Amino acid sequence: MAHRATDDDNGDEHYKKQLYDLQVELVKLQRELIANGERVLVILEGRDGAGKDSTIKRLTAHMSPRETRVFAPGVPSSREETEWYFQRFVRYLPAGREFVIFNRSWYNRAGVERVMGFASSTEVEAFLHNVVLFEDLLVRDGLHLRKYYLDIDKSEQKKRLTARQKDPLKQWKISPIDQAALKNWDNYTKARNVMLERTTHPSAPWRIVNSNVKKTARLELIRDLLDSFSYPDKAKKKTKPDREIVFPWLNDTGIERRLAR
Reported as a single tens digit per residue, the pLDDT across 126-150 is 999 999 999 999 999 999 999 999 9
Q: How confident is the model at residue 253, as a pLDDT? A: 67
First-last CA distance in the chain: 15
Cα 92 to Cα 218: distance, rounded to the nearest angstrom: 24
Q: Which helix (H) or strand (E) holds 206?
A: strand 206-210
13-259 CATH choice from 3.30.1490.20, 2.40.50.140, 3.40.190.80, 3.40.50.300: 3.40.50.300
Cα 230 to Cα 32: distance, rounded to the nearest angstrom: 9
Q: How confident is the model at residue 252, as a pLDDT? A: 66
Q: How confident is the model at residue 20, as a pLDDT? A: 98
94-116 b/e (C-beta count within 10 Å ≥ 16 → b): beebbbbbbbbbbbbbbbbbbbe
Q: How far is CA 66 from the centre of its chain?
A: 21
Q: Phi/psi zone of residue 51: left (φ > 0), alpha (ψ -120 to 50 degrees), beta? A: left
Contact 88, 73 (CB under 8 A): yes
- Three-class DSSP category at 255: helix
Q: How confident is the model at residue 261, as a pLDDT? A: 63
Q: Which helix (H) or strand (E) holds 71?
A: strand 68-71
Residues of the chain with pLDDT under 70: 1-11, 252-253, 260-261
On the CB side of 171, CA atoms within 13 Å amount to 2
Q: How confident is the model at residue 182, as a pLDDT? A: 87
DSSP 171: G
100 Cβ contact partners less than 8 Å away, ≥ 6 residues apart: 40, 41, 42, 68, 69, 70, 71, 92, 93, 94
Q: Which ranges constitute the DSSP H helices of the chain?
A: 13-35, 52-60, 87-90, 112-115, 121-140, 154-166, 176-179, 185-199, 214-227, 255-259
Name the pTM for this structure: 0.93
Query: At 141, which amino acid appears?
Result: D
Cα 128 to Cα 196: distance, rounded to the nearest angstrom: 10
C-alpha dihedral, 217 to 222 to 225 to 226, nearest 10°: -140
214-227 b/e (C-beta count within 10 Å ≥ 16 → b): bbbbbbbbbbbbbb
Taking every pair of Cα atoms in the chain, the longest distance, rounded to a whole number of angstroms, is 51
Q: How confident is the model at residue 180, as a pLDDT? A: 83
Q: How confident is the model at residue 258, as a pLDDT? A: 76
